[in-house]
Amino acid sequence: MANENIWYQIGVALRRILGLDKQGSKPQATLKPAPKPPTSTSRPTSTPGARPGKPSTPRSGGDYAESPGQFGAGATRDVAAGELTGAKLEYAPSMDGDPDPGEVVWTWVPYVENDGRGKDRPVLIIGRIDATTVFGCYVSSKYHRDFISIGAGAWDSQGRESFVSPERILRVTHDGMRREGATIPKDRFTAAVRGVLEYHGLR
């Protein structure tokens, strides 16, 4: 009887050590809290179609918001016709990335009102002032009184006859040119220069 009591006490002690209840159930598993879903770090999304970089400049009365020749020391501007006196008005086209006499180039041309508005348009280069500056007259596909025909050329995508305005003499810098358009034949260049000089009484 004493032995049975000892074994009973040993059994109770083992149950306590093993964590068994009096009914012999298995120890309950410790419940762990459910893991929280990972918090995603949201990134700002860009507006569809927007591109990083400088904000776009609104257009102002012309084809290009910031065309070469529009601002600064290299801006295209009107000069007095008298500056043509003694200037080098010789046919010297060279498709080298710079404006040269005999070429039609694209640059910003201010409106005659000189109020800050203007338009990117073709200009016939008629002479050279110095190594980086030339004289020019703007080109139009519409004829007006006293305009001088230079024929059709690659500067007009529709192949229309073009005319030079002899009234305004423009100073164009190398930095102010947006792109070279094409050259015109020498006889048309000579006729255009002669017409500009005659218009201003310089011949």
> What CATH number should be reported for the domain holding residue 128?
2.30.30.110
- List per-residue pLDDT tens for the chain, 203 residues long: 556 667 677 776 767 766 655 444 444 444 445 555 555 444 434 333 332 333 333 343 444 457 889 999 899 999 999 999 888 999 999 999 999 999 999 999 999 888 889 999 999 999 999 999 999 999 999 999 999 999 999 999 999 999 999 999 999 999 999 999 899 999 999 999 999 999 999 97
Tell which residue, 172, 151, 171, 147, has the closest CA to residue 160.
151
Output the CA angle 140-141-146, nearest 5 degrees.
60
The distance in angstroms from the start CA to the end CA of the chain is: 147
Please give the model's pTM, rounded to 2 decimal places: 0.68
Q: Tell me if 17 is assigned to some domain.
A: no
The pLDDT score that the predictor gives to residue 8 is: 72
Distance CA 160, CA 16 (A): 107
How many folded domains does the chain comprise? 1
Q: Tell me if 57 is assigned to some domain.
A: no
The total of other beta-carbon atoms located within 10 Å of residue 136's CB is: 26
Q: Tell me if 54 is assigned to some domain.
A: no
Buried b (16+ CB within 10 A) or exposed e, 141-167: eeeeeebbebeebebbeeeeebbbbbb
Q: Which structural domain, as residue segments, surrounds residue 124? A: 66-202
Q: Tell me if 31 is assigned to some domain.
A: no
Q: Give the strand pairing for 169-173 and 103-110.
A: unpaired
The pLDDT score that the predictor gives to residue 55 is: 34
Q: Residues 192, 162: contact at Cβ < 8 Å?
A: no
Q: Tell me if 32 is assigned to some domain.
A: no
Q: Tell me if 147 is assigned to some domain.
A: yes
**DSSP class per residue in 60-78:** -SSS-TT-TTSSSTT--EE
The torsion angles phi and psi of 159, rounded to 5 degrees, stand at 65, 30
Q: Tell me if 4 is assigned to some domain.
A: no
Q: Tell me if 6 is assigned to some domain.
A: no
